[in-house]
Amino acid sequence: MRLNRTQVSIFALSSVVLATGCVAIAKGRTQDAALLSATPSVPTATYKVGEKASWIIKSSKLTSVKFTAKRDNAGVVAAGTLQFQNGEAKLEVLGDQPSFLYVELTAEGTKPLALAAAISPDQIKPNFTRPADFKKFWDRRIADARKVALNPVITPKANSRETIEYGTYKLDFIKGENIYGQMAKPKAKGKYPMIVQFQWAGGPYPLDPNWITWRAEQGYLIFNSQAHNVLPTEPKAYYDALPAALKNYSGIATDDLENNYFVEMYLRAVRSIDFAMQHPEWDGKTLIVMGTSMGGQQTLAVSGLHPAVTHSIANVPAGSDLSAINLSRSPSYPFLPVTNPKVAAVAPYIDVNNFAPDIKSKVLIGVGWIDTVCAPSGIQATFNAIPGKAASGMKELVPMIDSPHNHQATPAQQKPYVDRETAWLDAIRKGVPIPKS
């Protein structure tokens, strides 16, 4: 999926590579709202355990519609056919435990319509216990990574914005590999708040200067870290020629904790922050990490690993509830084959749920309720495991009740999150309190 310039400016961290069969249909609307639409009985579509989630289904053309309701988009809890009377039907599904209900409406000649409801979401918990040696493992791996000097090489590059400076960087990393990225800053000398931006899945692909230069124009010192050991801004032919194994990186060493690809991806994120903190024009106070999908996965993991992070901003983060398929929940990217016991033993060390208790930063997370790439149950479990209460302003979860994964969604479906991200970043940059939603 290719984004135009306007979409890039709105979804600067959007994932453009993951694909599922989920249909992006807004609440109460389809391409032909007269054909099939749905409205939840309460605007928030949130219910307590023991209550019935309900919707008014409307159609001016259909006589009936089939429905299937799944708990956490896994086990079927209800199914049947609704008959329309005067163009309306009521759908009710009992919420019997903390979860997200995923409902699909189907009728001949129409596209499926996906609906969702939350059942006591603040009670959803991670599906497994954090390994006893989790912190010890990560402390050791980070210490070993820091034994390798970064030896940064910064290459200034031309850009189209007159008021900023732009360039790429190369850092030394473990196993003789490198960390690559791009960076930008206002041309005027000063002290600036800092963003370290992590990338969504796919590719590997080149980093686009437009993803960060507009942030620098706003007054940020910004670094954009490549998730892989590949050059950051090469022609398409370079990325096309990369080895097939690297293009399928999520399958590398899934059963080998010491060499697991995501373990090393998180270490890259830690060292990227270490590098960024050395910049003489960082204000020394504000360190924002942010990303979408796999970028959000890295954001939350590194927020639990790096105490310097002050703000964590993650839209539809991947990597939570990685063993969900074994526990009757819909899994999330990277969809590890956890039916293999060796993979299941590695998964807890990279599952974002297990980094959440160590996060000390302020946190903003966006969650799409009909997202089949990054399941809402896993994201909610991660949010619930982050210390503090939402009312304190330390953490905020933005529900997008009619949104699939971000690259499959319409701007209207993602707008609740985009609005809050903008409000957070504007306030942080100005040094004022983050406004309440």
Residue (of 190, 192, 197) closest to 220 by Cα position? 192
Which 3 state secondary structure label does DSSP give 65? strand
Q: What is the pLDDT of residues 136-183, one digit of tens each?
A: 999 999 999 999 999 999 999 999 899 999 999 999 999 999 999 999
CA distances for 171 relative to 138, 151, 298, angstroms: 21, 6, 18
DSSP state of 313: E
Q: What is the CA radius of gyration of the chain?
A: 22
At 393 the pLDDT is 86
Position 15 scores a pLDDT of 31
User: The whole model's pTM is what?
Assistant: 0.91
Side-by-side strand order, sheet with 362-368: 153-157, 164-172, 178-186, 221-225, 192-198, 282-292, 311-315, 362-368, 395-400
Name all domains of the chain by residue range, CATH numbers in brackets.
5-15+126-429 (3.40.50.1820), 37-123 (2.60.40.1930)
Helix (H) or strand (E) holding 83: strand 75-83
pLDDT tens readout for residues 17-65: 332 222 233 333 333 556 899 999 999 999 999 999 999 999 989 999 9
Q: What is the pLDDT of residues 288-336, one digit of tens each?
A: 999 999 999 999 999 999 999 999 999 999 999 999 988 888 999 999 9
Residue 11 has pLDDT above 50, yes or no: no
Q: Which two tokens stand for residue 373?
A: 């790439």
What are the backbone angles phi and psi of residue 313, rounded to the nearest 5°?
-125, 110
Q: What is the DSSP letter of 188?
A: S
Please name which of 231, 263, 270 lies closest in space to residue 249, comparing C-alpha atoms: 263
Burial code of 373-396, b = ≥16 C-beta within 10 A, e = fewer? bbbbbbbbbbbbbbeeeeeeeebb
The bridge status of strand 282-292 relative to strand 192-198 is: parallel
Beta bridge pairs of residue 54: 92
Q: Three-state SS across 216-277? A: HHHCCEEEEECCCCCCCCCCHHHHHCCCHHHHCHHHCCCCCHHHCHHHHHHHHHHHHHHHHC
